DNA sequence: TCATAGAGTTACCAAAGGGTAACCAGTCGC
DNA sequence: GCGACTGGTTACCCTTTGGTAACTCTATGA
């Protein structure tokens, strides 16, 4: 059935296919046989490219996380002031969600996996995002609260996205990004006055 | 070792103990033997009170969800205007997180379970919360966007809480609630002008 | 054309864990 | 004291599934 592929191509194909399968069915409800079937191949082939199910899964998380981080940091870097940073940041985030949306589900969907290692990977990604946002929050509150609020803002984008993605609703990332950014920016300024 | 207990008491005890175990280790990493051990009892006893692992888990989710909803709706009902509703609502939420914090982890922690059924239960709870918040958002944007933003606000509280609870940091729900409410309220008003 | 390397398969193992059948024991009413 | 009710236990089954050993097939280059 499936063509023979050179090793690197096969590896890529497995990664591509796995994102979809894991995103749709969750980690524990997806067996390696399921992945293999979806890739049009048998189980041992998977183990020629990845040491274990965990290993494969973590590779997927890592890749997805990188794409997210790159998109957002690039967008924020191109802005010239706080308000613009907020706007560009959220728009980039939602653009990523709309576009790479299996990856979003993998990282933040309700069915994402939750082992020790995956959790810490996902936490790291979230923390990095929060870290990038933190400076936007007024410096006149202590840094612990600053970080907590930053995590809140990440949750804001995440919550809105999950709502949309999980019910398969199409949405315009520019419009949504603008609205959320307006909301967040006004909120950020309110905390200033604390 | 463990005293004999009348059935309803045993059931309660199992529920109490299960919340902790599941919250700490996640659904899939917790076997029924683990639960039984923690309850000081053996496996078949669990099956005298619950049909299956799923069944037990769903009962826990349901209870936790009810406690959350009751706390928040009561608090919001006692307010007299939008700003106060926001404030009371968030404070009640964070008070619940601080107090019933295994339940929070169970519902929204990184290690929460994700089967078909659990997901839909958790989604229902989230949606109910969002539904309660939605009216606070200006009526001059369409109701789809309204609901999306409401889910965003739920995510805001969730994200901040998860950050705190998962690293075991103590926090003052009143202070945090006030800050987040300030932020959210300012944000909500900004969307008005949108 | 034939040897070789690497892609892929079949058939299997072993552990984990949900769930149950059959049995035991303490206590309460008579 | 005695039967029976109910809380509890031991010992087991059986499916699922991650992981692997040993084999086969196909293409390529000398």
Q: What is the pLDDT of residue A132?
A: 85
Rounded mean pLDDT, B15-24 = 96
Please answer yes or no on whether A156 and B160 come within 8 Å at the CB atom. Answer: no
Q: Range with the lowest mean pLDDT among A32-41, A112-121, B37-46, B65-74?
A: A112-121
Res. A112: pLDDT tops 80: no
Return the residue of B nearest to A127 by Cα.
B163
Rounded Cα distance, A74 and A72, in Å: 5
Rounded Cα distance, B178 and B23, in Å: 27
CATH superfamily name and code, B69-193: Tetracycline Repressor, domain 2 (1.10.357.10)
CA dist list (Å): B76 to B83, B85, B134: 10, 5, 13
Q: What is the pLDDT of residue B192?
A: 59
B157 and B90 Cβ atoms separated by less than 8 Å: yes
Q: What is the pLDDT of residue A16?
A: 96
Confidence of residue A1 (pLDDT cuts 50, 70, 90): very low
Rounded mean pLDDT, B159-171 = 94
DSSP label of A52:
S
| A15 min Cα distance to partner chain B (Å) | 22
Please answer yes or no on whether A160 and B141 come within 8 Å at the CB atom. Answer: no
CA of B36 to C1' of C24 (A): 19
Say which CATH architecture domain B1-50 belongs to.
Orthogonal Bundle (1.10)
Confidence of residue B1 (pLDDT cuts 50, 70, 90): very low
Q: What is the pLDDT of residue A111?
A: 74
Rounded Cα distance, A175 and B45, in Å: 54
Residue B163: its chain A contacts at CB < 8 A?
A: 130, 147-148, 151-152
Q: What is the pLDDT of residue A2?
A: 57
Nearest residue to A154 (alpha-carbon basis) of A143, A164, A162: A162
Confidence of residue B172 (pLDDT cuts 50, 70, 90): very high
pLDDT above 90 as % of chain A? 76
CA dist list (Å): A163 to A19, B130, B142, B144, B151: 20, 10, 16, 11, 7
Find the residue closest to D8 using CA and C1' atoms.
B45
CA of A175 to C1' of C29 (A): 74
Rounded Cα distance, A3 and A14, in Å: 13
Q: For the segment B125-156, what is each residue's pLDDT rounded down to a tens digit?
A: 999 999 988 888 876 788 888 999 999 999 99
The structure's pTM equals: 0.92
In angstroms, how far is CA A168 from the centroid of its own chain?
17
Rounded Cα distance, A147 and B95, in Å: 19
Residue B59, CB, strand C, below 7 Å: no
B111 and B28 Cβ atoms separated by less than 8 Å: no
**Angle, vertex CA A147, rays to CA B168 and CA A153, nearest 5:** 110
CA dist list (Å): A16 to A8, A56, A66, A70, A135: 12, 11, 15, 19, 35
| B190 min Cα distance to partner chain A (Å) | 6
Q: What is the pLDDT of residue B193?
A: 54
| A115 min Cα distance to partner chain B (Å) | 7
Positions on chain D within 7 A of a protein C-beta: 6-11, 16-22, 26-27
Res. A166: pLDDT tops 90: no
**CA dihedral sign of residues A136, A142, B188, B105:** positive
Give the best residue of B156, B157, B193 to mutate against chain A (max A CB count within 10 A).
Answer: B156
Confidence of residue A142 (pLDDT cuts 50, 70, 90): confident
Rounded mean pLDDT, A114-127 = 89
Res. A177: pLDDT tops 90: yes
Residue A155: its chain B contacts at CB < 8 A?
A: 155-160, 162
CATH superfamily name and code, A51-193: Tetracycline Repressor, domain 2 (1.10.357.10)
Q: What is the pLDDT of residue A3?
A: 79
| B191 min Cα distance to partner chain A (Å) | 6
User: How is chain A split into domains, by residue range?
Assistant: 51-193
Confidence of residue B95 (pLDDT cuts 50, 70, 90): very high
| Residues contacting residue B46 through CB under 8 Å, at least 6 positions apart | B14, B32, B35, B36, B39, B56
Please answer yes or no on whether B163 and A148 come within 8 Å at the CB atom. Answer: yes
Return the residue of B nearest to A186 by Cα.
B187
Return the residue of A nearest to B193 by Cα.
A182
Please answer yes or no on whether A183 and B188 come within 8 Å at the CB atom. Answer: yes
B58 and B47 Cβ atoms separated by less than 8 Å: no
Rounded Cα distance, A188 and A192, in Å: 7
Residue appearing with tokens 């990332």:
A173
Residue B176: its chain A contacts at CB < 8 A?
A: 145, 148
- Average pLDDT over chain B, rounded to an integer: 92
Please answer yes or no on whether A182 and B194 come within 8 Å at the CB atom. Answer: yes
Please answer yes or no on whether A110 and B122 come within 8 Å at the CB atom. Answer: yes
Q: Range with the lowest mean pLDDT among A91-100, A150-159, B91-100, B184-193?
A: B184-193
pLDDT above 70 as % of chain A? 96
Q: What is the pLDDT of residue B67?
A: 95
Rounded mean pLDDT, B111-124 = 84
Q: What is the pLDDT of residue B81?
A: 93
CA of B7 to C1' of C19 (A): 20
Rounded Cα distance, B77 and B79, in Å: 5
Rounded Cα distance, A129 and A142, in Å: 19
């Amino acid at each position: 059935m499936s063509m023979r592929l050179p090793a690197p191509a096969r590896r890529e194909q497995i990664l591509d296919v796995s994102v979809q399968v894991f995103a749709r069915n969750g980690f524990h409800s997806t067996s390696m046989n399921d992945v293999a079937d979806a890739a049009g191949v048998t189980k041992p082939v998977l183990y020629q490219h990845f040491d274990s199910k965990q290993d494969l899964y973590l590779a997927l998380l890592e890749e997805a996380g990188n794409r997210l981080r790159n998109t957002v940091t690039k967008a924020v870097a191109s802005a010239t002031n706080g308000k613009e940073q907020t706007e560009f940041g959220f728009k980039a985030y939602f653009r990523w969600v709309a576009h790479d949306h299996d990856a979003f589900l993998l990282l933040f969907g309700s069915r994402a996996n939750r082992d020790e290692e995956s959790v810490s990977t996902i936490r790291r990604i979230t923390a990095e995002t929060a870290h990038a946002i933190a400076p936007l929050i007024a410096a006149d509150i202590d840094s612990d609260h600053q970080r907590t609020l930053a995590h809140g803002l990440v949750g804001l984008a995440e919550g809105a996205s999950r709502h949309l993605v999980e019910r398969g609703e199409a949405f315009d990332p520019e419009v949504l990004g603008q609205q959320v950014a307006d909301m967040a920016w006004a909120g950020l300024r309110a905390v200033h006055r604390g």
